[in-house]
Amino acid sequence: DAGVIQSPRHEVTEMGQEVTLRCKPISGHNSLFWYRQTMMRGLELLIYFNNNVPIDDSGMPEDRFSAKMPNASFSTLKIQPSEPRDSAVYFCASSTGTGAALNEKLFFGSGTQLSVL
Amino acid sequence: GESVGLHLPTLSVQEGDNSIINCAYSNSASDYFIWYKQESGKGPQFIIDIRSNMDKRQGQRVTVLLNKTVKHLSLQIAATQPGDSAVYFCAENNSGYALNFGKGTSLLVTP
């Protein structure tokens, strides 16, 4: 099993540019999560999908952030326009849990290190 | 325990010794707890979990203890190895989908 696959591993961009982060969850997992990690705030949940449907996006910081999951094997997180304070590591995670067990045994990808200059 | 400010608490142990990493959680209604290990440049990796109806659970070389009275969780690693060096996070589940992660503890294993 290849695990959760994220791309790119590193992204350096200039303020104002659009950034798209990609994620391929583990096959058969029906829940997908986007997290952001910074030293100041630790790991924060941005949005999660269940069966490709966004269930809760209350963690998305601003309208500049959007996420889609067009099918069970692909999700994107887009930032437009990007700002320096968006610099962080963005993780995608997936699980087979549902209901109360939705986030049990989350499997994380290796993350995308985003630097906005 | 949990970090204060920007600096992660660091636990330094010698190879072969046992390690104990502590975590204080915030919500007495939390019913599920997880420990994750994060190595540099990688995503968090699941280690072990425990439900609130248990007070102890053992895995391979790891044991998680839960004390609901004082809202405390600990991870014990037996015979710590250099490969155990990483940042360890506890997480609690009290809303069904949003894991609440702690800030982490850095474990450094010295030869």
Per-residue model confidence as pLDDT tens digits over A46-85: 999 999 999 889 899 889 999 999 999 999 999 999 999 9
Q: Do B89 and A40 touch (CB under 8 A)?
A: no
Is pLDDT above 60 for B99? yes
Say if CB B10 and CB B108 are below 8 A apart: yes
What chain B residue is nearest to A105 in terms of C-alpha separation? Answer: B46
> What average pLDDT does this structure show over B14-32?
92
Amino acid at A12: V
What chain A residue is nearest to B31 in terms of C-alpha separation? Answer: A100
Using pLDDT thresholds of 50, 70 and 90, give the confidence band for residue A35: very high
Of A42, A106, A110, which has the smallest distance from its Cβ to B42's Cβ?
Answer: A110
Token pair of A101 as six digits: 């067990």
Name the DSSP letter for residue A25.
P
Tell me the three state secondary structure of residue A109. Answer: coil
Q: Mean pLDDT of all residues in chain B? A: 89
Q: Does A5 touch chain B (CB under 8 A)?
A: no
CA distance B92 to B90: 7
CA distance A45 to A50: 14
pLDDT the model gives residue B3: 35
Say if CB B29 and CB B94 are below 8 A apart: yes
B95 vs A18, higher pLDDT: A18
Q: Does A103 touch chain B (CB under 8 A)?
A: yes
Token pair of B108 as six digits: 């450094």
Tell me the three state secondary structure of residue B25. Answer: coil
Which residue, A87, A66, A75, A83, is CA-closest to A29? A75
pLDDT the model gives residue A106: 86
Residue with tokens 């966004």: A54
Is pLDDT above 90 for B4? no
